[in-house]
Amino acid sequence: MKLTESTWPSTADAVLGTVFGYDRFRGFQREVIEHVVAGGDALVLMPTGGGKSLTYQIPALLREGVGVVISPLIALMQDQVAALSEVGVRAAFLNSTLTAAQAARTEQALRSGELDLVYIAPERLMGERTLRLLGECKLALFAIDEAHCVSQWGHDFRPEYGQLSLLRERFAQVPRIALTATADVPTREEIRERLLADARVFVASFDRPNIRYRIVEKREPREQLLRFIRDEHPGEAGIVYCLARNTVDEVAAFLNEHGIQALPYHAGMDSALRAEHQRRFLRAGEDGGNAIVMVATIAFGMGIDKPDVRFVAHLDMPKSVEGYFQETGRGGRDGEPSDAWMTYGLADVVQQRRLIELGEADAQYKRLSSSKLDAMLGLAEAGDCRRVRLLAYFGEASEPCAQHQNACDNCLSPPALWDATEPARKLLSCIYRCTQSSNFGFAATHIIDVLRGKSTEKTVKFGHEALSTFGIGADLGEAEWRLVLRQLVAQHIVEVDYDHFNVLRLTDAARAVLKGERRLEVRRPTEKPARGKRERSSRRGSAAVALGSADEALFERLRAWRAGVAKEHGVPPYVVFHDATLRTIATAQPGSLEALRGISGVGERKLENYGAAILRLIAEA
């Protein structure tokens, strides 16, 4: 069937099958679509990779007029439009990357009703010129993507988003659908309040069953990262997040020196170079070459819809669970296994607390940031299921993931919990004694030296070898002491004074511990056996469809063919077909167009454009 005006499908199911090539809706996709088609407002909360796009694309196709998609991600609009064009949807974008002539052409197409979807950057949309243009068009809906950007308390706040409330007044009759993967309740409320009217809220489960969460002790983070990539993800695409720009540069250089192709990305770089790195990351690895590891600050990644990111590593802890969930969520959008791996240590706690305390924000914001950080620390320190904790943060109850194929580290090998109450008391009294005897404070290193009875220039100078706490902690190593201290700082029992050389001070909460009224449990660091290569490949094979060697050869040929098509069309290969679709083709080896049509990801337009070429490749194999 060739898609023309007259054969264009008119129901949600028909669009799903004929245009997008999928056989069934996921979760509540159909409900959202029906609600919006009927003219209702909707708030859609779904994790990354959950399938949000279809919930506004299909209503835009079914309703009269053009669907206006507001997205802050200029760099990605082009790929989104390309992907829609591939399936035969008439889409275009308006943003600052267009020349005046190109923009005029799109505006003309809009006026004459030739577009199904138009992507517009928020600052462009709010210009009077664009608003007037939209006033002249028949509008199917407004879709506000990454809607959490409207939240002033959130981590991605964008002032332009604040003005979007104007749409409600100016285009009251046009349904609005706001979408986000950030789901905490305050953000949800803020989106509703600012952008929507009587919106129906659709909340999907935020579980990402294909992601394995692991948080390891930070020792030598770069070496740990290198080992992790070499052992578990050689040649695969991944993202490494660091807090500081210079760490990003250093880590990228370090990986390259050790034979792993890596690119840096942070806001301090020239924007053209940044865009170039993003482009290379999105397109690498598909034509048989190695994938690229992107080393980045959190400036990178929002809206990145590269499906085959196999790991997201954090060398520094994010400042909130929302941030962690969103960043790790960029892995495994294709549904195949992906690792969320983080190194975590005392320095992370100190650093994040410091950022909050020394920040410019007002007291209310600092309190909020501090409680968000505490939730993140709770997740990092947890001895029980990470997934349960993560989902609980978003208000979702769940069972430990021990039986999952991608169980979290704690479920996979439960950590030994150590009753560290006695060591904690020793540490607290040591801080107390040192501070009292010298009348000023000391930082962690010195306190631990005193505990362990290590004679240094300082212990001599300050007469601390005469203290009753000198040497009372010789039974534990420095790493263990840092672990106890980290827990004390995480629980606000000890404070770090950032204005004064990071010296340690006791808080009021210390008294209960010293008096033996409060216990302290710490997870014992166990060096987790890295998953061996064998296990890794079996994991990989179990994803989607396992390929035999003949199928594997066909799969590779299909990929090579796809790389050629992608190059010719100037789009990333996954816009042509996802790996999962090619893999299914390689296994099923359909012998006719009819059989090919039945494969998930093959819609009418792709069948028409590529069907013959694919059948030829199969016949040759």
Positions that interact with ligand ADP (CB under 6 A) = 22, 25-26, 29, 46, 48-54, 305, 307, 333, 600
Between residues 29 and 343, which has the closer beta carbon with respect to ligand ADP?
A: 29
* Contact partner at residue 49 from ligand ADP, Zn ion, none, CB < 5 to 8 Å by partner kind: ligand ADP
* Contact partner at residue 50 from Zn ion, ligand ADP, none, CB < 5 to 8 Å by partner kind: ligand ADP
DSSP 590: -
Residue 401 binds to Zn ion (criterion: CB under 5 A):
yes
Instruction: State in angstroms the smallest separation of the CB of 324 from Zn ion.
Output: 15
Instruction: State in angstroms the smallest separation of the CB of 238 from Zn ion.
Output: 22
* Contact partner at residue 305 from Zn ion, ligand ADP, none, CB < 5 to 8 Å by partner kind: ligand ADP
- CA dist 486 and 350 (Å) reads 8
Q: Return the range that interacts with Zn ion (CB under 5 A); candidates 271-279, 305-313, 409-417, 595-603.
A: 409-417
**What are the respective helix, strand and coil percentages of the chain, to the nearest 5?**
50, 10, 40
- CA dist 396 and 450 (Å) reads 45
DSSP 399: -
Between residues 21 and 441, which has the closer beta carbon with respect to ligand ADP?
A: 21
Between residues 51 and 378, which has the closer beta carbon with respect to ligand ADP?
A: 51
Instruction: State in angstroms the smallest separation of the CB of 421 from ligand ADP.
Output: 45
* Contact partner at residue 411 from Zn ion, ligand ADP, none, CB < 5 to 8 Å by partner kind: Zn ion
* Contact partner at residue 187 from ligand ADP, Zn ion, none, CB < 5 to 8 Å by partner kind: none
Buried b (16+ CB within 10 A) or exposed e, 175-186: bbbbbbbbbbee
Token pair 């050790």 is found at: 258
SS3 readout for 196-241:
CCCCEEEECCCCCCCEEEEEEECCCHHHHHHHHHHHHCCCCCEEEE
Between residues 278 and 338, which has the closer beta carbon with respect to Zn ion?
A: 338
Instruction: State in angstroms the smallest separation of the CB of 87 from ligand ADP.
Output: 10
Instruction: State in angstroms the smallest separation of the CB of 89 from ligand ADP.
Output: 13
Output the six-digit token pair for 382.
Answer: 């947890």
Between residues 26 and 367, which has the closer beta carbon with respect to ligand ADP?
A: 26
Which residue type sits at 416? A
- CA dist 405 and 34 (Å) reads 34
Nearest to 211 by CA among 336, 79, 356, 381: 336
SS3 readout for 16-67:
HHHHHCCCCCCCCHHHHHHHHHCCCCEEEECCCCCCCHHHHHHHHHHCCCEE
Q: Return the range that interacts with Zn ion (CB under 5 A); candidates 65-73, 131-139, 397-405, 511-519.
A: 397-405
Instruction: State in angstroms the smallest separation of the CB of 61 from Zn ion.
Output: 40
Instruction: State in angstroms the smallest separation of the CB of 517 from Zn ion.
Output: 32
Provide the pairing of β-strand 200-203 with 211-217: unpaired
> Which of 408, 420, 520, 586: binder of Zn ion (CB under 5 A)?
408
* Contact partner at residue 46 from ligand ADP, Zn ion, none, CB < 5 to 8 Å by partner kind: ligand ADP
Beta bridge partners of 211: 338
Contact 133, 107 (CB under 8 A): yes
Contact 370, 343 (CB under 8 A): no
Instruction: State in angstroms the smallest separation of the CB of 612 from ligand ADP.
Output: 23
* Contact partner at residue 124 from ligand ADP, Zn ion, none, CB < 5 to 8 Å by partner kind: none
* Contact partner at residue 387 from Zn ion, ligand ADP, none, CB < 5 to 8 Å by partner kind: Zn ion
* Contact partner at residue 151 from ligand ADP, Zn ion, none, CB < 5 to 8 Å by partner kind: none
Residue 411 binds to Zn ion (criterion: CB under 5 A):
yes
DSSP 305: -
Q: How many helices (H) and strands (E) does the chain have?
A: 29, 17
Between residues 33 and 385, which has the closer beta carbon with respect to Zn ion?
A: 385
Residue 235 sits at the vertex; the CA angle it makes with 231 and 236, to the nearest 5 degrees, is 90
- CA dist 281 and 195 (Å) reads 33
Between residues 340 and 385, which has the closer beta carbon with respect to Zn ion?
A: 385
Buried b (16+ CB within 10 A) or exposed e, 475-496: ebeeebbbbbbbbbbbbebbbb
Residue 387 binds to Zn ion (criterion: CB under 5 A):
yes
Instruction: State in angstroms the smallest separation of the CB of 288 from ligand ADP.
Output: 22
Output the six-digit token pair for 3.
Answer: 């898609």
Residues touching Zn ion, count (CB under 5 A): 5
Query: What mask, x for binding Zn ion by CB under 5 A, covers residues 356 to 385?
Result: -----------------------------x
Instruction: State in angstroms the smallest separation of the CB of 15 from ligand ADP.
Output: 11
Contact 387, 400 (CB under 8 A): yes
Between residues 232 and 409, which has the closer beta carbon with respect to Zn ion?
A: 409
Instruction: State in angstroms the smallest separation of the CB of 53 from ligand ADP.
Output: 3
Q: Which residues bind Zn ion (CB under 5 A)?
A: 385, 387, 401, 408, 411
